[in-house]
């Protein structure tokens, strides 16, 4: 009988209390952290205030970690593995955020010289220790080492007896030669024990021990303790800080387990794999037993993971040993066997080849990838061997790998190959202690589609840039790109960079030239990389480094490109046009860019950090230059194919020959205003899809017919019959088990209450139908613009296109790819095969195809039906047409034209509704919207593009249901409720912004999606929900003009900001011939303020920009 741990009622209450305490503690930690970061972002932060908040942050972090540690134990006791893993991730996140904030704080304190210098501390120690005056006279500048050594000599014999470490402390200190590696968080207790043995227990003052401790740590660890001073109390505090941040048994055991889990599966016949695995497992088991974690050493998940690291033959031998010895399977049992196996594997080579051969092989052992050479400590390096020795560059003898060597990178590709051969480097990873066939990083290059196995630094293009340039004849299919003539600068050329400004400069003495660069963020899906981009006015195309494109996962079709260079010479190389989203660091610029891949867009050109160099010129003082991109190279060249990214807002000049700071409009933090008239840029894939559909469009038998925009002309897809049959059987089982899901009825839908969806994203053998089809560009109008036109005039008219997708046929050649099985729930019958002959839901290109057909039809018939064509092109969103006209006569005309226009396309317009009864009387009853009763004078309320329109009163209103009584107050559920309020025109922006602020507060509290909110947040949420019922009382007039006799109309925009949010609203002021003046609310926009510290004046500027954009959009439509 299985035993399950069942929580007692009081345990459940304790668990709930702990979860509430965790939420409060995380919220307190997050708020304190944000307060600290906000102060650090000020122009002149107060150092004392920073120290106070820093101490609060330490206390908040300790409290949060303690509570989550208790939660971890509770979940572990209940065998709740999911919450154990979740809590572990939360603790790691808290620790990471704490470390980042602490580093920011320490960096500022160090830069502002708040922390005491070591020299001044030494002088204080010499005064406090009162060393003999004879020794002081001997040298005025006596060193701290001599002073403390004298003090040590003067200690009593009784004190020396207390330490069994030996009387020669200097010999002990000489043996302690460990260093902390910068930015490494992995720790072991061994480094701490070495410190305790050699320094902490030595008979010296704590002040001197602190000096020694400072000497043997560096990087992040040094920053943690550097601002504590040099007193005896500071020594104890330094040890506590290092232990809290880098020590701890939980962290150490987690590291051991991660080492085991990340260990690559052992290879057959490789003895060193078994030895290394045995060492790791032995260390982990010993430490886990010491920590009392015996449950994890049984036959559990860790045991199963460890077995998967072994080969099949090893598993066979191991289980035979288990059977013969009668032991019980467990991690401890596996450890016992693997240690024996490792010993046997060692005996064999020693017996055959002798001890020297085994020693030699051991000395050359190096584990790459996830197998680290040893464990790092905050007091020392690897305890197994020197890490830096293995990373020594054989090219320049620097302390780095060859792959990071600047000297190696400067070589041409051919010379790199020669160097790699001469130095006997691995061609896969450029390491020097193994060959390519043994390299764990062996994989294809993938640069420009290269399938050869070598490092990307050894990749050869068909015609490398480093080779002598000769004229090349361009083939007929070659794409030729003309660029301005350029000459490579053989000097060390660097360039300036700025988020807001670009730099242009020249040093006349040394021919030092800087070019215009900006840091940008490149995005592709969830992948993001920050790079430096060169704004090149002389290039007609945009380029990107191939390694950056590969890092972002960008793909495209290989093309040949010919570039004209100096003296009528040309360069031809293979490239891959890719589409990437380009953003500025402030988020104000967001554009799709098509760039061509190349090996290195600017050669060895590197950007200049103008934050460091701007002080050399007076006219650059006060300019806030941004940080460089993370990569120390220029990885993108933006050509004049995107001219709006080159626009210069202002130049800041100095004397002739001095650098020029150029403010670029697109990368300016505030003044970037996107107007509605900007051109829409299409990617290469979108252009291809548009071209293919346009060429295939035909009108046959009263309907339009189009082909699918295939990525390849002859798509290669596997036969899906087996998968379709399996899914049909599973669907039938579900329907028989629960008949209620047979039809999902949507009573709130006026038109389509049920909808059949074709699952074209289902993968079989790693590919789906959607993978082989271009999605096509977005052609539908913006929802905001459609609703504005709907409000423009007094008479409104709406309709719906019945089954719009099914009215458009697909080409016969494409129909076999749309097959499905059907047998009407008769499981005894062999399914029949059918195929769709119309555009269906589920195929990624269907929305594009439907919009293309409707817009193309409108353009072809605009001479016959001008008013209807305009409605289709400007006032139709998907299959809903909605427009407004001046009077009922125009309304009737619009109905007639629209009906005929859609009918000529083989489509049927239905569900007609208008606020004018005269217009409705001209529409057949069967074509009107349901519930329209002209005899009773009743016009219904319908949902138009998510907004409720009451045709009878001609007003917009809202309807929302408050949450049920059993509603769980979690971040997920709150977000779901806030998202249900669709308000494209911002009529209830003052209400929705409060919901967004509530969500922002939940994010800053560090709550997970399904965590229960604390009492304060629950009460705020309840208060927000209580007002949901009152939304139905809000009524906004639809029409902006009451009648035709308007003399003038003016737009009035208001903007404002607070510390929490900012927004804008725009009104129309109409003046009639009668002298009557009235106003109408047109639209509003609101935004939550950034979490980073932003001043009120700056927020007001952001609100003004938001209002300007809103006004431009309204004015256009």
Q: Is-contact 662 651, C-beta < 8 A?
A: yes
Q: Is-contact 800 911, C-beta < 8 A?
A: yes
* Calpha distance 832→721 (Å, rounded): 11
Calculate helix-pair angle for 989-1004, 1015-1026, nearest 10 degrees: 170
Give the torsion sign (CA, 310, 311, 316, 321).
negative
Quickly count: other Cβ atoms within 10 Å of residue 876's Cβ.
22
The token pair at 345 is 């594997």
* Calpha distance 399→627 (Å, rounded): 26
- pLDDT tens digit sequence for 787-804: 999 999 999 999 989 889
Residue 477: strand, helix, or coil: coil
To which H or E segment does residue 1042 belong?
Answer: none
Q: 11 pLDDT exceeds 60?
A: yes
Q: Which residues pair with 524 in a beta bridge?
A: 527
pLDDT band at 922 (very low <50, low <70, confident <90, very high): very high
CATH 1.20.58 occupies which residues in the chain? 9-111
The token pair at 1010 is 């399904």
pLDDT band at 476 (very low <50, low <70, confident <90, very high): very low
- pLDDT tens digit sequence for 459-472: 775 433 333 333 33
Q: Find which of 111-115, 285-289, 684-688 is predicted with most confidence, using mean pLDDT.
A: 684-688
Quickly count: other Cβ atoms within 10 Å of residue 1077's Cβ.
11
Whats the size of the chain, residue-wise? 1117
pLDDT confidence of residue 665: 44
Q: 895 pLDDT exceeds 90?
A: yes
DSSP secondary structure string, 1076-1107? -EEEEEEEEEEEEPPSS---HHHHHHHHHHHH
Residue 759: strand, helix, or coil: coil
Give the strand pairing for 1046-1057 and 1061-1072: antiparallel
Q: Is-contact 796 734, C-beta < 8 A?
A: no
Alpha helices in 627-711 (DSSP H): 684-696
Q: 41 pLDDT exceeds 80?
A: no
**What's the mean pLDDT when you consider all of the chain?**
73
Residue 793: strand, helix, or coil: coil
pLDDT band at 516 (very low <50, low <70, confident <90, very high): confident
* Calpha distance 470→571 (Å, rounded): 8
* Calpha distance 674→188 (Å, rounded): 54
* Calpha distance 674→665 (Å, rounded): 11
- Residues of the chain above pLDDT 70, percent: 68
- Residues of the chain above pLDDT 90, percent: 18
Looking at residue 197, the DSSP 8-state letter turns out to be I
Closest CA to 171 of 129, 210, 202: 202
Q: Whose structure tokens read 């952290």?
A: 33
CATH of 9-111, one of 3.40.630, 1.20.58, 1.10.10, 1.10.1060: 1.20.58
Q: Is-contact 792 1040, C-beta < 8 A?
A: yes
pLDDT band at 995 (very low <50, low <70, confident <90, very high): very high
Q: 143 pLDDT exceeds 60?
A: no
Residue 115: strand, helix, or coil: coil
pLDDT confidence of residue 107: 63
Q: 588 pLDDT exceeds 70?
A: no
To which H or E segment does residue 12 belong?
Answer: helix 9-40
Quickly count: other Cβ atoms within 10 Å of residue 564's Cβ.
16
- pLDDT tens digit sequence for 362-403: 433 333 333 333 333 333 333 333 333 344 677 877 767 776
Alpha helices in 541-639 (DSSP H): 546-552, 610-613
Q: Whose structure tokens read 């038109």?
A: 751
All residues at 6 or more sequence positions from 1026 whose CB lies less than 8 Å from its CB, including other chains: 962
Integer angstrom CA distances of residue 984 from 407, 739, 959, 1065, 1085: 57, 37, 15, 13, 9
Segment 861-866 shows an average pLDDT of 92
* Calpha distance 637→602 (Å, rounded): 8
Q: Picking from 231-235, 303-307, 313-317, 924-928, which range would have the lowest pLDDT averaged per residue? A: 231-235
The token pair at 240 is 């506590």
Q: Picking from 313-322, 425-434, 776-785, which range would have the lowest pLDDT averaged per residue? A: 425-434
Calculate helix-pair angle for 47-77, 9-40, nearest 10 degrees: 160
pLDDT band at 741 (very low <50, low <70, confident <90, very high): low
* Calpha distance 767→868 (Å, rounded): 42
Backbone angles phi, psi at 142, to 5 degrees: -65, 140
Residue 24: strand, helix, or coil: helix
pLDDT confidence of residue 132: 40
Q: Give the CATH fold of the 479-667 domain.
A: Cathepsin D, subunit A; domain 1 (2.40.70)
- Give first-to-last CA distance, the chain, whole Å: 73
pLDDT band at 511 (very low <50, low <70, confident <90, very high): very low
Give the strand pairing for 1061-1072 and 955-957: unpaired
The token pair at 1063 is 């927004």
The token pair at 382 is 């690897």
CA angle, 7 as apex, 6 and 11 as ends, to 5°? 165
Q: Which residues pair with 41 in a beta bridge?
A: none
DSSP secondary structure string, 388-442? HHHT--TTT--SS-GGG-HHHHHS-HHHHHHHHHHTT--TTT--SSS-GGG-TT-
pLDDT confidence of residue 554: 83
Q: 3-state DSSP helix/strand/coil percent for the chain, to nearest 5?
A: 45, 15, 40
Q: Is 354 left (phi over 0), alpha (psi -120 to 50) or beta?
A: left
* Calpha distance 209→550 (Å, rounded): 50
All residues at 6 or more sequence positions from 4 whose CB lies less than 8 Å from its CB, including other chains: 79
pLDDT confidence of residue 385: 36
Q: Which residues pair with 1086 in a beta bridge?
A: 1063
Burial class (CB in 10 A: 0-12, 13-18, 19+), 113: exposed
Residue 1053: strand, helix, or coil: strand
Closest CA to 887 of 965, 824, 797: 797
Residue 465: strand, helix, or coil: coil
Q: 175 pLDDT exceeds 80?
A: no
Greater pLDDT, 218 or 407 = 407
CATH 2.40.70.10 occupies which residues in the chain? 479-667
252-275 as b/e, with b when 16 or more CB fall inside 10 Å?
bbebbbebbeebeebeeeebbbbb
Quickly count: other Cβ atoms within 10 Å of residue 111's Cβ.
9
Q: Which residues pair with 835 in a beta bridge?
A: 819
Q: Which residues pair with 320 in a beta bridge?
A: none
């Amino acid at each position: 009988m299985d035993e399950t741990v069942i929580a007692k009622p009081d345990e459940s209450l304790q668990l709930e209390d702990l979860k509430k305490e965790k939420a409060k503690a995380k919220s307190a930690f997050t708020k304190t952290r944000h307060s600290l970061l906000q102060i650090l972002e000020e122009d002149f932060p107060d150092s004392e205030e920073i120290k106070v908040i820093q101490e609060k942050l330490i206390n908040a972090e300790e409290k949060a970690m303690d509570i989550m540690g208790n939660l971890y134990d509770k979940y572990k006791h209940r065998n709740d593995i999911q919450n154990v893993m979740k809590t572990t991730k939360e603790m790691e996140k808290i620790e990471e955020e704490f470390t980042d904030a602490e580093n920011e704080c320490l960096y500022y304190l160090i830069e502002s010289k708040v922390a005491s210098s070591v020299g001044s501390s030494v002088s204080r120690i010499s005064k406090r220790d009162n060393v003999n005056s004879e020794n002081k006279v001997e040298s005025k500048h006596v060193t701290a080492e001599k002073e403390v050594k004298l003090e040590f000599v003067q200690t009593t014999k009784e004190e020396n007896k207390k330490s069994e470490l030996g009387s020669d402390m200097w010999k002990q200190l000489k043996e302690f030669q460990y260093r902390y590696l910068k930015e490494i968080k992995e720790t072991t207790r061994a480094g701490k024990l070495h410190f305790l043995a050699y320094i902490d227990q030595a008979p010296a003052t704590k002040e001197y021990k602190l000096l020694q401790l400072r000497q043997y740590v560096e990087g992040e660890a040094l920053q943690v303790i550097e601002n504590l001073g040099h007193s005896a109390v500071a020594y104890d505090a330094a040890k506590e800080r290092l232990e809290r941040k880098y020590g701890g048994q939980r962290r150490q055991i987690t590291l051991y387990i991660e080492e085991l889990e990340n260990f690559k599966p052992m290879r057959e016949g490789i003895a060193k794999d078994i030895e290394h695995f045995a060492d790791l497992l032995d260390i982990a088991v010993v430490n886990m037993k010491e920590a009392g974690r015996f449950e994890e050493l049984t036959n559990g998940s860790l045991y199963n993971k460890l077995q998967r690291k072994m080969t099949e033959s090893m598993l066979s031998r191991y289980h035979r040993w288990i059977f013969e010895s009668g032991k019980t399977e467990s991690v401890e049992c596996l450890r016992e066997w693997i240690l024996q196996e490792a010993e046997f594997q060692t005996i064999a080579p020693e017996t055959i080849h002798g001890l020297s051969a085994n020693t030699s092989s051991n000395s050359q052992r190096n584990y790459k990838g996830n197998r680290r050479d040893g464990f790092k400590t905050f007091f020392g390096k690897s305890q197994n061997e020197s890490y830096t020795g293995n990373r020594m560059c054989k090219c320049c003898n620097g302390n780095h790998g060859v792959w990071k060597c600047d000297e190696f990178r400067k070589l041409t590709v051919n010379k790199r190959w020669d160097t790699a051969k001469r130095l006997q480097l691995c061609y896969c990873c450029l390491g020097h202690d193994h060959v390519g066939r043994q390299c764990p990083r062996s994989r294809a290059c993938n640069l420009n589609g290269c399938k050869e196995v070598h490092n990307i630094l050894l990749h050869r293009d068909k015609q490398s840039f480093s080779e002598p340039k000769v004229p090349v004849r361009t083939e007929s299919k070659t794409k030729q790109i003309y660029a301005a003539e350029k000459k490579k600068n053989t000097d060390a050329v660097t360039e300036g960079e700025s988020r807001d400004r670009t730099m242009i400069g020249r040093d006349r003495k040394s021919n030092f030239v800087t070019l215009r660069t900006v840091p940008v963020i490149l995005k592709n899906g969830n992948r993001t990389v920050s790079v430096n981009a060169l704004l090149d006015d002389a290039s007609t195309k945009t380029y990107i480094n191939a390694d950056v494109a590969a890092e972002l996962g960008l793909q495209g079709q290989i093309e040949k490109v010919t570039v004209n260079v100096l003296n009528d010479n040309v360069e031809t190389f293979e490239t891959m046009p890719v589409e990437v989203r380009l953003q500025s660091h402030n988020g104000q610029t967001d554009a799709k860019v098509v760039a061509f891949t190349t090996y290195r867009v600017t050669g060895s050109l590197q950007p200049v950090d103008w934050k460091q160099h701007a002080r050399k010129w007076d006219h650059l003082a006060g300019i806030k230059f941004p940080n460089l991109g993370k990569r120390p190279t220029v990885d993108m060249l933006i050509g004049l194919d995107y001219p709006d990214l080159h626009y210069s807002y202002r130049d800041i000049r100095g004397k002739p020959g001095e650098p020029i700071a150029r403010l670029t409009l697109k990368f300016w933090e505030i003044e970037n205003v996107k107007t509605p008239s900007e051109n829409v840029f299409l990617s290469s894939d979108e252009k291809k899809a548009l071209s293919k559909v346009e060429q295939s469009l035909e009108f046959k038998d009263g309907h339009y017919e189009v082909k699918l925009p295939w990525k390849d002309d002859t798509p290669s897809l596997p036969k899906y019959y087996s998968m379709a049959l399996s899914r049909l059987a599973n669907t039938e089982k579900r329907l028989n088990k629960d008949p209620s899901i047979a039809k999902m009825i949507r009573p709130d839908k006026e038109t389509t209450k049920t909808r059949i969806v074709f699952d074209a994203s289902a993968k079989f053998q790693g590919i789906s139908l959607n993978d082989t089809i271009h999605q096509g560009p977005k052609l539908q109008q913006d929802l905001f613009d459609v609703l504005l036109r709907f409000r423009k005039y007094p008479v409104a008219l709406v309709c719906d296109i019945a089954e719009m997708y099914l009215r458009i046929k697909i080409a016969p050649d494409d129909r076999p790819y749309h097959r499905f099985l059907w047998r009407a729930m008769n499981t005894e019958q062999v399914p029949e095969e059918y195929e769709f002959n119309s555009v269906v839901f589920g195929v990624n290109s269907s929305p594009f195809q439907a919009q293309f057909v409707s817009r193309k039809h409108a353009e072809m018939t605009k001479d016959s039906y001008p008013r209807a064509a305009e409605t289709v092109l400007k006032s139709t969103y998907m299959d809903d047409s909605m427009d407004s006209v001046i009077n009922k006569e125009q309304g009737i005309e619009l109905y007639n034209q629209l009906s005929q226009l859609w009918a000529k396309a083989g489509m049927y317009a239905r569900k007609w509704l208008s606020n004018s009864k005269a217009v409705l009387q001209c529409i057949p009853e069967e074509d009107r919207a349901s519930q329209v009763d002209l005899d009773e004078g009743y016009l219904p309320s319908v949902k138009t593009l998510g907004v409720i329109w009451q045709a009878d009163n001609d007003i917009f209103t809202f309807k929302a249901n408050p949450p049920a009584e059993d509603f769980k107050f979690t971040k997920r559920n709150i977000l779901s409720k806030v998202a249900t309020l669709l308000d494209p025109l911002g009529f209830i922006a003052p209400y929705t912004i409060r919901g967004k602020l509530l969500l922002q507060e939940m994010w800053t509290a560090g709550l997970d999606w399904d965590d229960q909110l604390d009492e304060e947040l629950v009460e705020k949420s309840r208060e927000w929900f209580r007002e949901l019922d009152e939304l139905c009382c809000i009524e906004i007039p639809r029409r902006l003009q009451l009648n035709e006799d308007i003399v003038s109309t003016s737009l009035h925009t208001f903007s404002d900001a607070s510390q929490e949010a900012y927004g804008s609203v725009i009104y129309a002021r109409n003046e009639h011939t009668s002298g009557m003046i009235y106003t109408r609310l047109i639209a509003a926009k609101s935004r939550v303020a950034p979490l980073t510290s932003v001043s009120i004046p700056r927020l007001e500027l952001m609100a003004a920009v938001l209002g300007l954009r809103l006004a431009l959009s309204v004015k256009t439509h």
